[in-house]
Amino acid sequence: MTMEPFDVYDITIIGAGPTGLFAAFYAAGMRGMKTKVIEALDTYGGQLTTLYPDKFIYDVAGFPKILSKDLAKNLYEQASAYNPTFHFSEKVLNLTRLDGGIIELITDKGVHFSKTVLIAAGHGAFTPRKLGNPSVERFENKGVYYTVKDKWMFRNKRVVIVGGGDSAVDWALNLKDIASEVYLVHRRSEFRAHEGTVIELFHSPVKVLIPYEVKEAHGGEHLEKVTVYNNKTGEEMTIECDALLLQLGHIVDVSLFKKWGLEMEGNAIKINARCETNIPGVYAAGDIATQPDSVKLALLVIGFAQAAIAVNVAKNYVDPKAGYFPGHSSERRM
């Protein structure tokens, strides 16, 4: 659907992950901005719903623990209460600042116009990192998985998880009481996961194999077993299993942002303390953003804070008479 030039929004948010959803609430609910959200995926939540919907999150203020999918649902409902426009399954392909300052966003489905844009695209376009092992890739979606959308699919199954980061360790602990047997295979003796969860892992029934790597996957129509080897001694062992869950991180693609003319630092968009990019009227917040003179922390709380800063600065950009501070929500009728 092509948008007419006169249909100009105050702010368009690219990404409906946690940072984008909170920004949508803040823009529409706290600042009364005409707000649009464009999301490439077919639903809201970003990594919360795509990569680990059934994982608990412990570092969101006010929640001792909350499931990722429940946090995403709450954020979506919080934003939706103020009627921002959502476009799902739509990918932004180009961003251009036109004469007069209006920003044109060309997507794979049409054209959108906005006075400001907030990029809250998580880590950008990402694809799961693979082992590069043909015997493993042969069983993709036939016993080999890179994400977990429903943990109950592993009920009473024998599961082998590969990886040493937070996702691998968290899923091993999450599935230990659901699967009949859980192995964790990691190529190093040291883990990148949070120290507390690693300690919990070694006190759990999960069978930890270090330093081991996957050599070959076996089976007919479906995965039946996996051969792993000790990369120091060469010792091999074959594990009968129903599922191989690869948690090796993701390959990030930020080429689009570079194409748009945004200044980058590594795989992140450079911002200042006001969450401004080098393009006037374009802001960035959350994991996709980096402020060179600050500490980089990939935490939800940072994304929420940057969303609030970006929206308040954008409001002043659209209406210079508007102050940066909207007042406390407890002082106003929402």
The predicted pLDDT at position 213 comes to 97
Q: What pLDDT is stored for residue 51 in this prediction?
A: 76
What are the two backbone dihedrals, phi and then psi, of residue 316, each rounded to the nearest 5 degrees? -65, -35
Of 185, 181, 131, 135, which Cα lies nearest the Cα of 159?
181
Q: For position 2, what pLDDT does the model report?
A: 47
For 257, the enclosing helix (H) or strand (E) is helix 255-259
pLDDT in tens, 169-179: 999 999 999 99
Q: Is 30 helix (H, G, I), strand (E, B) or coil?
A: helix
| In the chain, ranges of CATH 3.50.50.60 domains | 8-126+251-331, 130-248
How far is 59 from 108, CA to CA, in rounded Å?
A: 36
CA 44 – CA 18 distance, rounded (Å): 8
Reported as a pLDDT band with limits 50, 70 and 90, residue 330 is low
Residue 158 scores a pLDDT above 70: yes
Helix (H, G, I), strand (E, B) or coil at 223: strand
Classify each residue of 87-116 as buried b or exposed e, where b means 16 or more C-beta atoms within 10 Å of its C-beta. Answer: beebebeebebeeeeebbbebeeeebbbbb
Under the banding of pLDDT at 50, 70 and 90, the label for residue 287 is very high
- Number of Cβ within a 10 Å radius of residue 196: 9
The pLDDT value given to residue 4: 47
**Helices vs. strands in the chain: H and E counts, helices first:** 8, 22
Angstrom distance (rounded) from CA 310 to CA 23: 8
Q: What is the pLDDT of residues 61-94, one digit of tens each?
A: 999 999 999 999 999 999 999 999 999 999 999 9
Question: CA-to-CA distance for 311 and 53, rounded, in angstroms?
Answer: 27
Calculate the alpha carbon distances from 248 to 20, 136, 161, 192 in Å.
26, 14, 10, 11
Among 163, 172, 242, which Cα is nearest to 206's? 172
Average pLDDT, the chain: 93
pTM of the model: 0.77
Residue 333 is predicted with a pLDDT of: 56
244 DSSP 8-state letter: E
Q: In this structure, which topology does domain 130-248 adopt according to CATH?
A: FAD/NAD(P)-binding domain (3.50.50)
pLDDT at 275 over 90: yes
> Per-residue DSSP letters for 164-204?
SSHHHHHHHHHHTTTSSEEEEE-SSSS--S-HHHHHHHHTS
Mean pLDDT within 279-293: 96
Q: What is the pLDDT of residue 50?
A: 80
In whole angstroms, what is the distance from residue 61 CA to residue 54 CA?
19
> By the 8 A CB rule, do 224 and 201 touch?
no
pLDDT higher than threshold 80 for residue 112? yes
8-126+251-331 has which fold? FAD/NAD(P)-binding domain (3.50.50)
- In this prediction, residues 113-129 reach a mean pLDDT of 85
Lowest mean pLDDT among 156-165, 211-220, 242-251: 242-251
**Average of per-residue pLDDT across 174-202:** 95
- Given pLDDT bands bounded at 50, 70 and 90, which one contains residue 127? confident
**Cα separation of the two ends of the chain:** 32
Q: What is the pLDDT of residues 41-66, one digit of tens each?
A: 889 998 888 877 888 899 999 999 99
**Model pLDDT, residue 274:** 97
- d(Cα 328, Cα 276) in Å, to the nearest integer? 23
What tokens were used for 322? Answer: 């508007």
| pLDDT of 219 higher than 80 | yes
**Residue 250 in contact with residue 166, Cβ under 8 Å?**
no
